[in-house]
Structure 1
């Protein structure tokens, strides 16, 4: 599934986080590394989602789910939240964490590297591009960047090359990520939490207390 489609699914309520998922914990170095990998078209891993009915799904955030079947993210939350934060320029509805981790990511057209905004270093340098601005405004932002670069003699000679790099960066959202689905009536909350703990073996496992809270929220929505 294309990254752009995944982000659209989050906006429309077709994709969300289950109630038992933990918050966002990535730091800026991890976000920067993710975008460097995507720009170089290196593998970044796929998603594992729980396909369930929206009318019984317990999810994070104050947004609403779309009617019918929805996909709750079991594995890949940190990557998708980072992508959403940079591409949309704001946190997703289910966000719980420090948004500074993905705010202010810039790309250097000459070195093809990413870094977070540093006023003294970047403010007067047109080769540093605001990634969120490019992603949100697309061709309009490219035209603005091209106009500014063309007015700099030291940049004008490489304008075509720079525009190719901007286009390559913008097309990150066209990258396909594999989405594996957990489906079936037998996939109860207990089963799904067990799956979550197994795929999340490198992180903090959900405790019995976490599972109990998730069950309470599933049976008693007012407890959320």
Structure 2
């Protein structure tokens, strides 16, 4: 590999190379975000002779997804057989220079920024801002547009007062004679080039792995654009409430299918041709896994999934198994799902654990029963001790999934409670109802550490919480519902609550919490293939499990 080589590029060569398609801005899914003000500041620095930073480019024959046009100026493809110089550092500066010096228009949503409206104030001293975007306070004839300064002939310049002629000439010469500093990384592999990009971008937002893979896997002849393919997949999943799947999880799945490993370096080294070939089958396997979560586990929306990453082992399963799993496979998959969810498995080191778990999925595919090196304490006491309610904890999400499985019905009329990603965005969602209201328990001298417990949570419709219950005791509000709803007892069972002998009519919170934890314990046991290790377990909760930010793989 050649060492990075410093070089200077004159202004005219830089612009000409961009227009010829030799210098390319890789489209790492990052839009041009600099304002006209910042672009004007950059030109101002050039006119004052200040350095504007070094551009770092990667010279290669690899084809990346690139910005095809800048403000309506169509940039041609790299000429056949030529090397391209991809800008690794200085994308925003390079684009600003091009837009300002060409006077192009950039559309941002409904707003259009006209970069032709950047002006040089001919009365400004070197201590003032020479390049401005607002000429309201300037007299006609004391300023010139940047594009006119660069492109105009003698007649335009001669129309200015003679006292400005020297300055106009000096500014034009300064711009056209400016040498841009460039460091060229020659013919390095993509992972080296992107590593350089990531390291030099410490101050800015580093590229995500997905953005790198969008650039790497782009193929014009195959019409493959990962960004578009991913968006289309998410749009299909949105129709069934599973649109919060992360791009990181999708990349993990492809890597696991191709090579059974999904660390960052494994993903970066994936062969482009194989990646493109596998995409349709992987996308289909993801949809099959989602259908299975919705149908068999009755998890209605992706926000309830204890981990986004759970889609990886299940998509891997469906990639290798076209039909619905039956008998032993079905039992083992369910055991796997709840062990991962209740055991806080993917709260840390997720890529390594996924690689281990794929071996377990291979065993399930081969009709053998995997072993596990972690136990699940299914006891009611464990739930009672560890059930503090935080909608970001995988342990709590797992129990919420068990509640959603029952298809809970309204206390008022028995209609099915609608669960959507929208209301699950808020951890304090009103759809999580404290069966013994917190305000009621506070009056009994019990703080939120007692009331804010998964054993005291039910999933209800929004209006029920606000209008019908408030701070009333269970005895008071349940008596009202009993008068309105003759099937109340049946409907309460869909919330895993029995109305009688649970302390509800006596407003006895301790009795209720004990009974509800026992009920939840029974439901957990139904979903696991219990082993000796579970029966003797006194599992401790992974503290990282509390942190919602730790739930997903940080790629």
TM-score, structure 2 as length reference: 0.34
CA contact (8 A) 1:87 1:136 kept: no
Counterparts of 1:107 and 1:43, CA distance in 2: 19
In structure 2, how many angstroms separate the alpha carbons of the residues matched to 1:4 and 1:169? 15
Conserved in 2, the CA contact under 8 Å of 1:27 and 1:101?
no
Q: Indicate the residue corresponding to 1:72 in structure 2.
A: 86
Offset, 1:96:
8.1
Gaps of 5+ in 2: 1-8, 70-75, 226-555
Instruction: Report the alpha carbon displacement of residue 106 of structure 1 after superposing the two structures with TM.
Output: 0.9
Displacement of 1:218: 5.2
Going from structure 1 to structure 2, the CA distance change for 1:19 and 1:30 (only over 3 Å counts) comes to closer
Q: Measure how far apart 1:57 and its partner are.
A: 4.1
Unmatched runs of 5 consecutive residues or more in structure 1: 150-158
Q: Tell me, yes or no, if the aligned pair for 1:21 and 1:74 is still in contact at 8 Å.
A: no
User: Within 2, Cα distance between the matches of 1:99 and 1:108?
Assistant: 23
Identify the residue that residue 179 of structure 2 maps to in structure 1.
176
Superposition misfits of 4+ residues, deviation over 4 angstroms: 95-99, 218-221
Q: For the structure 1 residues 27 and 101, does the alpha-carbon distance in structure 2 shift closer, same or farther, using more than 3 Å as the test?
A: farther
2:133 to 105, 116, 134: 116
> Comparing both structures, which one devotes a greater share of its residues to strand?
1
Shift of 1:20: 2.2
Q: What is the root-mean-square deviation in Å for CA atoms of aligned residues?
A: 2.5
User: C-alpha displacement at 1:4, in angstroms?
Assistant: 1.6
Given the superposition, is the C-alpha separation of residues 189 and 211 from structure 1 closer, same or farther in structure 2, using an over 3 Å criterion?
same
The corresponding residue for 1:88 is 102
Q: How many Å apart are 1:72 and its aligned residue?
A: 0.9
CA contact (8 A) 1:13 1:65 kept: yes
Q: Give the number of aligned pairs.
A: 203
> Residues of 2 paired with 1:117 and 1:136: CA distance?
21
Residues 39 and 168, structure 1, Cα contact 8 Å, conserved in 2: no
* Greater Rg by CA: 2
1:127 to 142, 150, 162: 142
Show CA shifts across 1:85-108 (max 9, x none): 1212226xxx88676273411111
> Relative to 1, partners in 2 of residues 1:2 and 1:61: Cα closer, same or farther, differing over 3 Å?
same
Partner residue in 1 for 2:40 = 32
Aligned-partner Cα distance in 1 for 2:166–2:33: 33
Correspondence 1:202 to 2:203: yes
Correspondence for 1:10 among 9, 12, 18: 18
The normalised TM-score by structure 1 is: 0.79
Report the equivalent of 1:155. Answer: none
Report SS of the residue matched to 1:181: strand
